[in-house]
């Protein structure tokens, strides 16, 4: 009996010895995936964990692994520059989100009215998206130049006291950035919205017309609720773009006047590569990560929750 059991065990051990070979079955795809696995595990996961861990240290000129608890975070939230950065991003973010969605949808709705030259209009609305934030920022810096730009022109027309110098006025500098940001980004959202509108059944329009519902009401009460997934995708796209806001600020204002247009991404860069203040950079970038997680988790929850229930 015992012998038989032993024999069986030996046999199952032999079959169990096979699994290691599973790793080598179809070896080629695994070898070919090494860059992907490296990127996912080492760069993305490893890098993120590294930064989070070092945000709890007192790293200054160079990263040092000496535990300092929440010291960096306390310092971060006591720094005026960081508070201003957060406020700026909030102003820019809310305005950008609302206006991009609104403009994107309105433009898409206009283009969807069976108009002529639709292709031409779409090409025009979308081309800024091909340009970098640096190029965008530099163009608008020139157009908003108080001497030769919009302010200068209006003054030249005789309205001497006209004031519009967003890049030199700390109170409205974020709106100056917003003008450029909207110019660059609305085309993309318009395209996504347009695709969403094209996905709506022609019969819906016929039905609402038979019922005598005005066009604007159809849009607000029928079409927009139907386009919920498109709006969700757009919000995720816009929001993850807002958190990354950096190049545009560097090109247009370099954070000025003073610190009036600082943003979190720039705070991180300045502390990490300019100020030799590593710990602050790590703590601030961890806060950025946290904000992305706060945006993404409800979205993922909605997506997955919806799938499972449906």
Beta carbon of residue 6, minimum distance to other proteins (angstroms, whole number): 31
- Of the ranges 65-73, 75-83, 94-102, 277-285, which one interacts with other proteins (CB under 8 A)? 277-285
Among 112, 162, 169, 270, the residue binding other proteins under the rule CB under 8 A is 112
126 by DSSP, 3-state: which?
helix
Give whichever of 70 and 300 is closer to other proteins, judged by the CB atom: 300
Among 11, 16, 41, 77, the residue binding other proteins under the rule CB under 8 A is 41
Among 9, 209, 217, 228, the residue binding other proteins under the rule CB under 8 A is 209
Fill in the per-residue mask, 76 to 105: x = in contact with other proteins (CB under 8 A), - = not in contact.
Answer: ------------------------------
Task: Give the interface size with other proteins as a residue count (CB under 8 A).
Answer: 108
Rounded-to-integer distance, Cα 180 and Cα 186, Å: 10
Give whichever of 78 and 202 is closer to other proteins, judged by the CB atom: 202
Count CA within 13 A, CB hemisphere, residue 184.
24
Fill in the per-residue mask, 150 to 169: x = in contact with other proteins (CB under 8 A), - = not in contact.
Answer: x-xx--x-------------
- CA distances from residue 91 to 96, 165, 173 in whole angstroms, order as listed: 8, 18, 11
Burial 112-122 (b: 16+ CB within 10 A, else e): beeeeeeeeeb
Q: What are phi and psi of 235, to 5 degrees?
A: -60, -45
**Contact at 8 Å (CB) between 193 and 234?**
yes
- Of the ranges 3-11, 71-79, 94-102, 248-256, which one interacts with other proteins (CB under 8 A)? 248-256
Among 90, 94, 102, 195, the residue binding other proteins under the rule CB under 8 A is 195
- Could you tell me what percentage of the chain is helix, strand and coil, using 3-state DSSP and rounding each to the nearest 5? 75, 0, 25
- Of the ranges 69-77, 89-97, 168-176, 197-205, which one interacts with other proteins (CB under 8 A)? 197-205
Rounded-to-integer distance, Cα 243 and Cα 21, Å: 46
């Amino acid at each position: 009996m015992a012998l038989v059991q032993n024999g069986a065990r030996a046999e199952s051990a032999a079959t169990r010895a096979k699994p290691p070979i599973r790793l080598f079955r179809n070896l080629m795809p695994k070898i070919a995936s090494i860059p992907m696995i490296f990127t996912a595990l080492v760069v993305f996961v490893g890098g993120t964990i590294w930064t989070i861990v070092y945000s709890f240290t007192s790293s200054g000129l160079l990263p040092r692994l000496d535990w300092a608890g929440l010291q960096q975070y306390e310092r971060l939230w006591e720094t005026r520059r960081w508070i201003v950065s957060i406020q700026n991003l909030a102003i820019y973010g809310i305005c950008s989100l609302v206006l991009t969605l609104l403009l994107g949808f309105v433009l898409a709705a206009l283009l969807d009215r069976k108009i002529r030259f639709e292709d031409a209009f779409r090409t025009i609305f979308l081309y800024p998206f091909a340009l970098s934030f640096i190029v965008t920022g530099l163009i608008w810096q020139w157009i908003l130049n108080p001497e030769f730009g919009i302010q200068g022109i209006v003054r030249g027309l005789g309205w001497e006291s006209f004031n519009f110098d967003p890049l030199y006025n700390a109170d409205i500098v974020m709106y100056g950035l917003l003008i450029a940001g909207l110019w660059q980004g609305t085309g993309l959202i318009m395209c996504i919205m347009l695709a969403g509108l094209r996905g709506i059944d022609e019969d819906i329009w016929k039905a609402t017309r038979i019922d005598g519902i005005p066009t604007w009401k159809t849009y607000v009460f029928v079409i927009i609720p139907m386009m919920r997934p498109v709006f969700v995708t757009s919000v995720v796209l816009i929001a993850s773009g807002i958190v990354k806001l950096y190049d545009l600020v560097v090109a247009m204002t370099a954070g000025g006047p003073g610190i009036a247009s600082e943003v979190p991404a720039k705070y991180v860069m300045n502390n990490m590569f300019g100020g030799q203040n590593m710990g602050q950079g790590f703590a601030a970038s961890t806060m950025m990560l946290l904000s992305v997680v706060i945006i993404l988790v409800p979205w993922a929850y909605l997506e997955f929750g919806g799938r499972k229930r449906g």
